[in-house]
């Protein structure tokens, strides 16, 4: 008998037996593993996660054996962040967690069932947006998702304080297999008291329906929908309705960078597939303005990307400001008088992480102050790293249309926005712009300005560029035309006929908000008026000198010049005392008797002048 060969065969069998038994031994060890010995490792990991010392009273295994162990965690305490105030961020009396050991082999911890009692959470966000639940130094992440097969919560309280959006809440939370998840309690949004309630189905694998409501006198919101999995806010569909005294109050909840308005009602269908929000069937009213549209909100490289379209059958611009804003504007107008250039704010410094394009279209513009000359409005707003371009502007008037673009540049940390305007008016008439008037004519205009300021008015008040205005192919009362030629006799005793308005041409060269009139001409079939002077912004003050001459023999021609002061909204024509003095009138009578009424005016080169100022 070959004893060495026998020994080798025996050794081989033993080795094979050991190799076969080793996995079984490892599985047995995994099935009975005393998970409580990892309390120290868990404590250290949690301390690193939150950046402050976490303490755990005990961690022990509840069941005896199995690959879906149940561990109990007792007396958990996570201190509050030093900047967030006193007390604790989280305390927990007891939690039992059932999980599968198999994902652990891949480095993942996947709980299957959780039972929690005595939970206290104090969530805080400061004015700068820092949160006490985030990993120190790490960027914000999306909502959590879970494949939980069950959740039980007893005696849970969550407190939330958000200085950035001025909102807070204290919610009692409970969950069980019979009544599902419930959270309810008082809160406030921008100082207005509200009641908050959240209900969800019992937690189990699969789609998870939920309802969330905020109710109060100044704010009410309801969201009804379904998450793809319990608590998976990164994948959900919902229908949202909202009512508030101000769009800014709704923005304190949804954080979309919206502005103050009149009372608002909104409804929309929403789908979230992280990182994209898709908003469809958007409808609503702000004051007496309506809106409808769709919008997608995406996230890329830490920036928010917008793409959408908004339409309104009717728009009142006053609806897009708060009562406080309208009161401030009215007080300013009472103090300084009416102004032609609006005082709309254009500071976009806080819109520092949002890009995208919004197309808009308005059926008609209305105003509480009376009929608006604007019958339609359309355009496209594009934001690219704090460069806002409002392009393809088309503002339809009762007659004519305004086209062009406006650009607001606040890139590279610019504290004061820079506004560039390039607007054209075509096809309008004097009657459509000014209402009832004895003067007719076709109107065209061009404004090309660049300046810096926190409002449109302030930017124009520091602008460089050019403004041009042309009125042509019109008519006016004969006595008006005579007056423009400083023919006092014909102005006061002329017939009731009409003269031709060949052109009115005004060009204003702007330098740092002060414009020099060059040219200023009113040319009629009977006379010609020429002017020089200045227009100062933002107070819109006029300082013009006017001289006129007839093209035919004058009945009673006055020598001298008139001045125009006041503002664009309220001009003040002043005829100097020496022009209308008795002596000057007698001199004019004498010149009329002798036939020496002075040189006659020549026709202006209306076409060339119009091209010059509208270029």
- How many helices (H) does the chain have, and how many strands (E)? 10, 28
List, for residues 303-362, the tens digit of each pLDDT value.
889 999 999 999 998 898 877 777 777 777 777 777 788 888 899 998 888 899 999 999
Burial 105-144 (b: 16+ CB within 10 A, else e): eeeeeebbbbbbebbbbbbbbbeeebebbbeeeeeeeeee
339 Cβ neighbours under 8 A, 6+ residues apart: 333, 457, 538, 539, 540, 567, 568, 569
Of the candidates 187, 188, 158, the residue with the CA atom closest to the CA atom of residue 171: 158
Burial class (CB in 10 A: 0-12, 13-18, 19+), 236: buried
Say what the pTM is.
0.79
Render 173-188 in DSSP notation, one character per residue. EEEETTTEEEEEEEEE
Give 40-98 as a 3 state SS string. HHHHHHHHHHHCCCCEEEEEEECCCCCCCCEEEEEEEEEECCHHHCCCEEEEEEEEEEE
Burial class (CB in 10 A: 0-12, 13-18, 19+), 481: buried
DSSP assignment, residue 575? -
- Angle made by CA atoms 493, 497, 503, in degrees to the nearest 5: 105
Integer Cα distance of 240 and 173 in angstroms: 23
Structure tokens at 297: 């909100």
Closest CA to 347 of 249, 255, 419: 419
* Residue matched to tokens 């939330």: 160
Per-residue DSSP letter, 564: E
Name the helix (H) or strand (E) containing 231. Answer: none
User: What end-to-end distance do the CA atoms of the chain give, in Å?
Assistant: 117
pLDDT of residue 547: 87
**Nearest-angstrom CA–CA distance, 70 and 150:** 13
Instruction: Decide: 287 and 317 in contact? Cβ < 8 Å.
Output: no
Selection from 209, 181, 182 nearest residue 196 by Cα: 182
SS3 of 526, please? coil
Whether the Cβ atoms of residue 224 and residue 242 lie closer than 8 Å to each other: no
Residue 217 CB-density burial (10 A; 0-12 exposed, 13-18 middle, 19+ buried): exposed
CB atoms within 10 A of CB 228: 16
H helix or E strand, kind and range, residue 116: strand 111-125
Contact 468, 455 (CB under 8 A): no
Element (H, E) at 545: strand 541-550
* Beta carbons within 10 angstroms of residue 397's beta carbon: 21
C-alpha–C-alpha distance, residues 329 and 323, integer Å: 10
Q: What are the CA-CA distances from residue 388 to residues 198, 360, 391, 410, 590 (Å)? A: 39, 15, 9, 8, 64
Strand partners, 95: 73, 116
For residue 450, give the nearest of 441, 459, 439 by alpha carbon. Answer: 459
Rounded Cα distance, 442 and 399, in Å: 10
Which residues of the chain are modeled with pLDDT < 50? Answer: 17-19, 488-493, 556-557, 576-596
Please report the pLDDT score of residue 28 as a whole number.
58
Q: What is the pLDDT of residue 431?
A: 84
DSSP H or E segment with residue 604? none
The pair of structure tokens assigned to 561 is 């010049």
Q: By three-state DSSP, how is residue 334 classified?
A: helix
DSSP H or E segment with residue 156: strand 150-162
């Amino acid at each position: 008998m070959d004893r060495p060969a026998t020994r080798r065969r025996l050794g081989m069998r033993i080795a094979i037996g050991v190799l076969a038994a080793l996995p079984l031994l490892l599985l047995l060890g995994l099935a009975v593993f005393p998970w409580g010995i990892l309390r120290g490792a868990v404590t250290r990991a949690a301390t690193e996660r939150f950046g402050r010392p976490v303490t755990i009273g005990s961690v022990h295994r509840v069941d005896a054996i199995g690959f879906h162990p149940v561990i109990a965690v007792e007396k958990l305490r996570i201190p509050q962040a030093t900047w967030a105030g006193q007390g604790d961020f989280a305390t927990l009396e007891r939690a039992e967690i059932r999980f599968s050991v198999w994902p652990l082999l891949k480095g993942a911890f996947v709980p299957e069932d959780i039972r929690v009692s005595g939970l206290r959470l104090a969530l805080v966000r400061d004015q700068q947006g820092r949160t006490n639940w985030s990993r120190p130094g790490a960027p914000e992440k999306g909502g959590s998702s879970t494949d939980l097969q069950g959740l039980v919560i007893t005696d849970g309280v969550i407190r939330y304080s958000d200085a950035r959006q001025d909102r807070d809440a204290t919610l009692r939370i409970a969950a069980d297999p019979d009544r599902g998840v419930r959270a309810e309690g008082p809160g406030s949004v921008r100082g207005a008291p509200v009641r908050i309630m959240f209900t969800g189905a019992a937690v189990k694998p699969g789609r998870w329906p939920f309802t969330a409501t905020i109710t109060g006198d100044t704010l009410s919101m309801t969201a009804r929908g379904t998450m793809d999995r319990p608590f998976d806010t990164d994948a959900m569909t919902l229908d949202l309705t909202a009512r508030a005294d101000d769009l800014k109050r709704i923005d304190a909840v949804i954080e979309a960078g919206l502005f103050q308005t009149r009372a608002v009602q909104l409804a929309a269908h929403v789908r979230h597939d992280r990182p994209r929000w898709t908003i469809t069937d958007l409808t609503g009213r702000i004051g007496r303005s309506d809106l409808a549209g769709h919008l997608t909100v995406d996230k890329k490289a830490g920036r928010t990307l917008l793409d959408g379209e908004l339409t309104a059958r009717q728009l009142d611009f006053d609806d897009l400001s708060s009562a406080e804003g309208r009161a401030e504007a009215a007080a300013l107008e009472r103090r300084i008088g009416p102004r032609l250039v609006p005082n709309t704010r254009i500071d976009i410094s806080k819109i520092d992480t949002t890009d995208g394009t919004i197309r808009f279209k308005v059926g008609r513009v209305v105003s509480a102050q009376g009929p608006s000359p604007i019958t339609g409005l359309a355009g496209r707003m594009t934001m690219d790293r704090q460069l806002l371009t409002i392009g393809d502007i088309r503002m339809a008037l009762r007659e004519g249309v305004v086209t062009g673009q406006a650009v607001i540049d606040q890139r590279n940390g610019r504290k004061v926005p820079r506004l560039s305007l390039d607007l054209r008016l075509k096809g309008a008439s004097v009657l459509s712009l000014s209402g009832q008037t004895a003067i007719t004519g076709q109107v065209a205009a061009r404004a090309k300005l660049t300046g810096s300021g926190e409002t449109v008015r302030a930017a124009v008040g520091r602008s460089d560029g050019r403004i041009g205005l042309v009125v042509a192919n019109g008519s006016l009362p004969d006595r008006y035309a005579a007056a423009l030629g400083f023919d006092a006799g014909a102005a006061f005793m002329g017939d009731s006929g009409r003269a031709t308005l060949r052109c009115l041409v005004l060009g204003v060269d702007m330098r740092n908000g002060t414009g020099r009139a060059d040219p200023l001409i009113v040319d009629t079939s009977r006379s010609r008026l020429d002017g020089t002077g200045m227009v100062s912004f933002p107070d819109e003050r006029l300082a013009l000198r006017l001289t006129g001459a007839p093209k035919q023999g004058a009945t009673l021609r006055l020598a001298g010049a008139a001045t125009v002061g006041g503002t664009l909204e309220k001009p003040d024509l002043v005829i100097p005392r020496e022009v209308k003095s008795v002596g000057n009138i007698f001199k004019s009578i004498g010149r009329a008797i002798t036939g020496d009424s002075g040189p006659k005016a020549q026709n202006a080169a209306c076409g060339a002048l119009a091209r010059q100022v509208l270029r």
